[in-house]
Structure 1
Amino acid sequence: MTIVGNLNRDNAQALSKFMSVEPQIRLWDILQTKFKAKALQEKVYIEYDKVKADSWDRRNMRIEFNPNKLTRDEMIWLKQNIISYMEDDGFTRIDLAFDFEDDLSNYYAMTDKAVKKTVFYGRDGKPETKYFGVRDSDRFIRIYNKKQERKDNADVEVMSDHLWRVEIELKRDMVDYWNDCFNDLHILKPDWTSPEKLNEQAMVYMLIHEEDKWGELNK
């Protein structure tokens, strides 16, 4: 996780002074307009660089850490002693994950905006992983068979009949709209028998089983 923000001149001096005497922090590369540090047994990286931030038009301080490796007390310490000095703070990336005990191989993820879609199939011919978007875009969606992934990578057998995960990576400007990132995302299980006309049923059936044909439909 990366948290970014701004230090004004007074807070930069105060934080630098605090970190120089705090035993849980190792400070180096210290100048009037920059410093680097590691805290909490090297689990947290801290960097302040006003000159670089001004030249690149970005916020001047960032904090990087893995929240899974910090205890609750360490997170509180980090917030009270480091993050509290920052102004205009926020995230550069947010990862959201949701698990479903259902077989999502027969479901389709659709968005209101055109996005690139990539599907990988398993040995049984069913989809195992679906990607929507590209990795360096503001929003990247991954839907995959979590049960199979756990078995392949960690040799762990999940007891549920099915376990699928939906992951959404949000970056840059999209981070500020994380609460609305699902508004144009629809995960649906199509029923090709629902149309009354036989030719419409045939078309829906073809689109379900031949996804490339979507691009050939007349608008």
Structure 2
Amino acid sequence: MYLKSDIEKWFERFDSEKKPYIFDVSIDRLTLLGYWNYNGAENFARLLGKINHDIRITKGNGTRIPAGFIFYDKCYFEIIDNLKYKDARPFRLDFNPNKLNEKEVQFLKKKILPLLSGVSASRIDLAFDIELNLEEYQFIEDNNPKKRMYIRGRGLELQTLNIGSEESDYRVTIYNKLLERKAKMNNNPLEVSREERVLLETKKSWWRVEFKLKGQAATVEKNFNAFSENNVFRGLKIYKANYKAADDIRTRAMMFYLINHENEWGNLTWESKKKYKEYFEALSEYDLVDYLKDCYLSKRDKLEAQYMDYILSDSSKNRQAR
């Protein structure tokens, strides 16, 4: 079977008339941790009293370790008991930047984050929205295959795939966003934004690929950048192979079996995995991840700047800026 060279594949990325449409890349979730600056805990307690319509305490009210929501349910916060967890940064803030309006973003940057020092992320989710049906695609990992969980519909069509465990520092979630948002609109219409309603009306397909980076994988510092291409994609490949074009019936049968029994990849020898990965690549029009990378690299600086804008709002950075 003829295998394309790297230069042939590179040129095809720009010549293909069937180039997939990736219409959005965004930070879909941020979890920030920080230390109290000076009398930050007391300042935050006073802030709670003054702006109670924006901040809702759900537990620990009147104690030194409250938890609750800011802007109704858009941002979750909690104060960690640093007497019990001495090495922990005591303030945690969890939110989706896409859900905040400009006024709310400025409130976080001017009222909340300046009460803290040493702010950095413990989680960053990067989301790619694609006008493409990914039901029949193969999701192949080059290195260290991870635990997988498939959620399928009544007709066994793929709805959600999780690659990696919830506890790991790196997880990929692929799911039918159109289906998820339509279900949300039927059950809780107020939770679907105006922009999402437009997409539901205009898109025939809308799938999302999310890269969930936690712990070390979410670190941004001199020696490691969570936003680096290698950290985000980590050898993932996404193919839609025409297995019927394989040379012999045995190969076609094996590829068909792997397409319909993805977990069987784990039972192949190293040589067999390599062989069938090459078949999937050779019989696929493209690797979708190549296009995800192209789109990501064109927007990475903007995404990293958005993240750094939150981080640079903490008190220690503010003092350095002066």
Shorter-chain TM-score above 0.5? yes
In the alignment, the residues of structure 1 paired with residue 150 and residue 98 of structure 2 have an alpha-carbon distance, to the nearest angstrom, of 30
Q: 2:51 aligns with which of 15, 24, 35?
A: 24
TM-score, normalised to structure 2's length?
0.54
Q: Is the Cα contact below 8 Å between 2:31 and 2:122 reproduced in 1?
A: yes
Q: CA deviation at 1:145?
A: 1.7
Q: Which amino acid in the other structure matches residue 4 of structure 1?
A: L
Q: 1:58 aligns with which of 47, 63, 88?
A: 88
Q: Does 1:169 align with 2:212?
A: yes
Q: 1:208 to 1:58 in 2, by over 3 A?
A: same
Aligned to 1:129: 160
Q: 1:69 to 1:187 in 2, by over 3 A?
A: closer
Q: CA deviation at 1:52?
A: 3.2
Q: Does 1:3 align with 2:35?
A: no
Q: Is the Cα contact below 8 Å between 2:40 and 2:116 reproduced in 1?
A: no
In the alignment, the residues of structure 1 paired with residue 41 and residue 89 of structure 2 have an alpha-carbon distance, to the nearest angstrom, of 16
Q: CA deviation at 1:79?
A: 1.6
In the alignment, the residues of structure 2 paired with residue 218 and residue 118 of structure 1 have an alpha-carbon distance, to the nearest angstrom, of 22
Aligned to 2:103: 73
SS of aligned partner of 1:82: helix
Q: CA deviation at 1:69?
A: 6.1
Aligned to 2:226: 178
Aligned to 2:259: 208
Q: CA deviation at 1:89?
A: 0.9
Q: 1:136 to 1:17 in 2, by over 3 A?
A: closer
Cα-to-partner distance string for 1:129-163 (whole Å, 9 max, x where unaligned): 21212223222322122222233342475432211
SS of aligned partner of 2:233: coil
Q: Which amino acid in the other structure matches residue 126 of structure 2?
A: L
Q: 1:84 to 1:214 in 2, by over 3 A?
A: same
Aligned to 1:139: 170
SS of aligned partner of 2:88: coil
Report percent identity of matched pairs.
Answer: 30
> Any stretches of 5+ residues in structure 2 without a counterpart?
1-29, 56-60, 187-196, 220-224, 271-322
TM-score, normalised to structure 1's length?
0.74
Aligned to 2:147: 116
> How many correspondences in the alignment?
210
SS of aligned partner of 1:79: helix
Q: Is the Cα contact below 8 Å between 1:49 and 1:61 reproduced in 2?
A: no
* TM-align CA RMSD: 3.4
Does 100-109 or 129-138 show the bigger shift? 129-138
Structure 1 or 2: more helix by fraction: 2
